[in-house]
Structure 1
Amino acid sequence: MAGWYLIPSVLVPLIIVGAVASRFFGAGKKRGYTGKYDPKTGLGRGAPGFQTGVKRMAVTPEIAARMRAGEQVSQEEIEEALARAQSQNAGSSTAIRNPNVDQDWLPQGGRSPAGKKSNKRR
């Protein structure tokens, strides 16, 4: 029974020394994903051709075809094409409302957002 305290007192320092030694003599540079650009794999932050903070927007099929062909398209041309497409779509709405459905049966609280009550925990 006297030898049980000897086992933890020897193993704990050995584990600590092993952890420190593996830090210095371990895998070297292979420490997983660091976020830096790796030219071997082409992955990481700062990769060439990767733009941050760029807004995605829908373009018309004509503009998309021109861009795929390699033609330079200016911002003004894109905005003009989008305005044209929106003006054409403004007259024809795709939403169809069924005239037979009556919304009067709903209670007042269900129709307006002001009537909703939030469930607060007390």
Structure 2
Amino acid sequence: AAMVEIQKEYVEAAILIGRKPGVIIFRHILPNVVSPILVIATISLALAIILEATLSFLGVGAPPTEPSLGTLIRIGQSFFFSGEWWILFFPAVTLLMLALSVNLLGDWLRDALNPKLDD
């Protein structure tokens, strides 16, 4: 994202009028690069949460002695058909809501920080 911003005309104009590199970076480039970085970070966080839960569910993630949503879902799976559905339901809903919340946070950050999306 920074390499794209460096090639824009306003950055070249700032260089031509003699602005210092620090001023160009902090006043022109950084405000336009922060939004995509934050959005990518929140999407990566949601992906990491789901990946950790998946690996724990499969038994190759965190040790069984440490709490994990994937481990709780794996344990609840064996109780599901015996009528104790809530042991599986609540960790699964928690994982779903956590991933959805992080993705919605990233979407809100994109809308709030992107100066090009003024409606």
Same fold (TM over 0.5): no
Q: Highest Rg: 1 or 2?
A: 1
TM-score (norm 1): 0.27
TM-score of the superposed pair, with normalisation by structure 2: 0.27
Q: RCO greater where, 1 or 2, for CA within 8 Å and sep 6 or more?
A: 2
In terms of fraction of residues, the more helix-rich structure is 2
